[in-house]
Structure 1
Amino acid sequence: MRPRTALATLPLAMALTLVAGCSAFEDDAAPPTEAIEKARTTFVDAGTVTFDLKQSGIPKGRNGVSAANGNGVIDKDTPKFKGQVTGVIKGASAGVEIVAVDDKTWMSFFTKDFNPVKMSDLGAPNPAEFFRAGSGVDQVLEHTSDAKAGEQTRSGDTVLQEYTGTIPEADIQRLFELGEGDEEFDVTYGIEPDSGELRSVVIEGDFYKEKPTTFTLTITDYGKDVEITAPK
């Protein structure tokens, strides 16, 4: 029975070791300002990323984007996006393919062709603006205040260090074309410590007057080879 007992205690010993390692990692977390600034420059320098955006819920009677996923080209002058956007328009939910180049957007809805569309007419933001260096996701990072180191988490096999803080309403209004109830919004970043890559962003607050909402952004594939062109 003794060998069996020893084997039974092995997983517990390994778990305790892992917990100890996690605690040490949290204690050694980079200073918030330094880590967030590194994440900002790493994001801009990547040139391209893949992202997945989800919203917790759109109030009844409102238009908006409930989810979006695709590739983005990060650039100050000509940001780009290509992917699928799921939204609610006049109470109906639908998924469409979107191509956005700078301030122009095209939509494919149950067709192979892309037609010009104004996202503002649909109550939705231009997804390319998330990738405009100087006013997109990187600006949200730059404007983060009251930043604090949080817990260590895992995303698959990747260890992330969380940082919390607040961001101003102006950034929410610019990117999401929402933000009617708060002067600032709570944000939690998940940053990969070694590379400095921003892997997740969770923003919580009164995006609508009716109720608080949460947007969750997952970022992967830094520097992936992506080609996005305007539809002909």
Structure 2
Amino acid sequence: MRRRAVLVSLPLALTLVGGCTVFEETTPPDEALATAQQSFVDAGTVAFDLKQSAIPKGRNGVSAATGSGIVDEATPKFRGQVTGVINGNSAGVEIIAVDEETWMSFFTQDFNRVDMADLGSPNPAEFFRAGSGVDQILETSTDVEAGEKVRDGETVLQEYTGTVPAEDIQRLFNLGESATEFDVVYGIEPDSGELRSVVIEGDFYEEKPTTFALALKDYGKNVEITAPE
């Protein structure tokens, strides 16, 4: 499966830098991804903004999420706003996730324990689990090639394209059971080596290919997340 031309053209508020060469040299793919992986783990905290292209009719799922996570191997954490479809109804909820436990606030001030798998949604804390989260996707990517230089606001990113084994995506998203691999485009900030964007496309659903776009920011910002009482 190769949909990289489509991936690169997806709207991520990224536009091609025209006219001149911004950087003298492009970091080799293996070195760039290794640096991005280490930067993510070492940051301790990272904020993200996740968007999905479409949820097939009749499916539960997350269409968008924004929040912050604490990167940790044993006890990753997340707190933020999640928008999606629950039993046919569109809803925006607040989620707290600590390790494998998740709580949802849905039209109330209180948080109630939920199983995200029952809702057809990923546990967002797992994205921040060192060794099996976002950093693992970087590590297991194959056929990685340097792509375009793109602009994200005032920041210029170097793109890298590749593929990711389906099992890594299935573990994080609770989707894609019938897939064998997924196409991925990374946007890495060359000076810091930080991963700033990830676009993943493939057979998340049997009905049709779907795209998830993940933007990352605020590396190392002070964040406190605790389980609800």
Give yes or no for TM over 0.5.
Answer: yes
- Structure 1 residue 125, shift from structure 2 partner: 1.2
Correspondence for 2:130: 133
Identity between Structure 1 and Structure 2 (%): 72
Amino acid at match of 2:87: K
Pick one of 86, 93, 109 that aligns with 1:96: 93
Correspondence for 1:168: 165
1:28 aligns with 2:25: yes
Taking the aligned partners of 2:168 and 2:192, their CA distance within structure 1 comes to 26
Correspondence for 2:77: 80
1:144 aligns with 2:141: yes
Q: CA RMSD in A?
A: 1.0
1:68 aligns with 2:65: yes
- Structure 1 residue 120, shift from structure 2 partner: 1.2
Which secondary structure state, in structure 1, belongs to the residue aligned with residue 38 of structure 2? helix
Amino acid at match of 2:198: V
Gaps spanning 5+ residues in structure 2: where?
1-17
- Structure 1 residue 198, shift from structure 2 partner: 0.2
- Structure 1 residue 20, shift from structure 2 partner: 2.4
Correspondence for 1:157: 154
Taking the aligned partners of 1:119 and 1:20, their CA distance within structure 2 comes to 46
1:108 aligns with 2:108: no
Correspondence for 2:49: 52
TM-score (structure 1 length as normaliser): 0.89
- Structure 1 residue 181, shift from structure 2 partner: 3.5
Taking the aligned partners of 1:99 and 1:89, their CA distance within structure 2 comes to 17
- Structure 1 residue 121, shift from structure 2 partner: 1.4
**Per chain length, whose mean CA-contact separation is higher, i.e. which structure has more relative contact order (CA < 8 Å, sep 6+)?**
2
1:119 aligns with 2:129: no
Correspondence for 1:9: none
Give CA-to-partner distance per residue, 1:148-200, whole Å, 9 cap, x none: 00000011110100000000000111000101342110000000001000000
Amino acid at match of 1:163: Y
